[in-house]
Amino acid sequence: MWFRRSRPRTYGAKPVRVQCFAALALAAAVFTLAGGARAADDRPVKIVVLGDSLSAGLGLPADGAFPAKLAQALKAKGIAVSVANAGVSGDTASGGLGRLDWSVPQGTDAVIVELGANDALRGIDPKVTAAALDGILSKLRDRHIFVLLAGMQAPRNMGADYVRGFDAIFPALASAHRVVFYPFFLDGVAADPKLNQSDGLHPNAAGVDAIVARILPQVEQLIAAVRTARAS
């Protein structure tokens, strides 16, 4: 019995053209996926500032508070962000821990933790402050939220032992949790009458501008970490 040699199957009369179309479709799909990845990377980074009156903007208009001024500075550099103000005047580190879940909503990419000033002013045991801040950092880590920890220093009239114990909280936690760290939120501003309101404690408009300018490199580092994680 003779067997007829079968012709190779083709999709139509011009298989080469079909292969070309397939290659083009594949290239288009890859381009679309790459474009989607780029679009995901370009989404604004959502930042929450979890703090006390220093970030809430006590004595200042809403658009003069630290979160608003920070957002303006970042957008001026072409960095797409949204910065929410979750500052509560008078709040302590323990208060921040207690309200963390509703102050930092789902979808937040990063948090700037600015707490501790009221703990020091009230003479709260540094161990209590450290435990509360550790709880905040642990919860944010478990939620895969990036953190910038802003350090605080105790007033020097609190006594050497208290100052030493309190000031050591922030670098120790930053190292243990491996977060972005800004050693002193009021660096260059504290005790300068030109940069503070009449109470001598809260930054005025110029003081907020000074804080933003000094902390900006660490905030950019925080944003870069978010974007790197998105791309991985």
Q: Give the per-residue pLDDT at 41.
A: 66
pLDDT digits (tens, 9 = 90+) for 26-72: 444 444 444 544 455 679 999 999 999 999 999 999 999 999 999 99
Let me know: does 69 contact 54? Beta carbons within 8 Å: no
On whether the CB atoms of residues 191 and 203 are closer than 8 A, the answer is: no
Short-list 174, 98, 107, CA closest to 137: 174
With beta carbons less than 8 A apart as the criterion, state whether 82 and 112 touch. Answer: no
d(CA 39, CA 46): 15
**Residue 86 DSSP SS3:** strand
Strand order in the sheet with 110-114: 81-87, 45-51, 110-114, 146-150, 180-182
Half-sphere exposure (CA, 13 Å, Cβ side) for 37? Answer: 11
Catalytic residue numbers read: 53, 199, 202
Runs of H (alpha helix) within the chain:
15-42, 53-56, 66-76, 93-98, 100-103, 117-122, 126-142, 160-167, 169-177, 205-231
pLDDT of residue 199: 96
Strand partners, 146: 110
Is 174:185 a contact under the CB 8 Å cutoff?
A: no
> What does the DSSP 8-state code read for residue 151?
P
Which residues in the chain land under pLDDT 50?
1-16, 18, 20-34, 36-38
Q: What is the CATH number of domain 44-231?
A: 3.40.50.1110
pTM: 0.83
Per-domain residue ranges of the chain: 11-42, 44-231
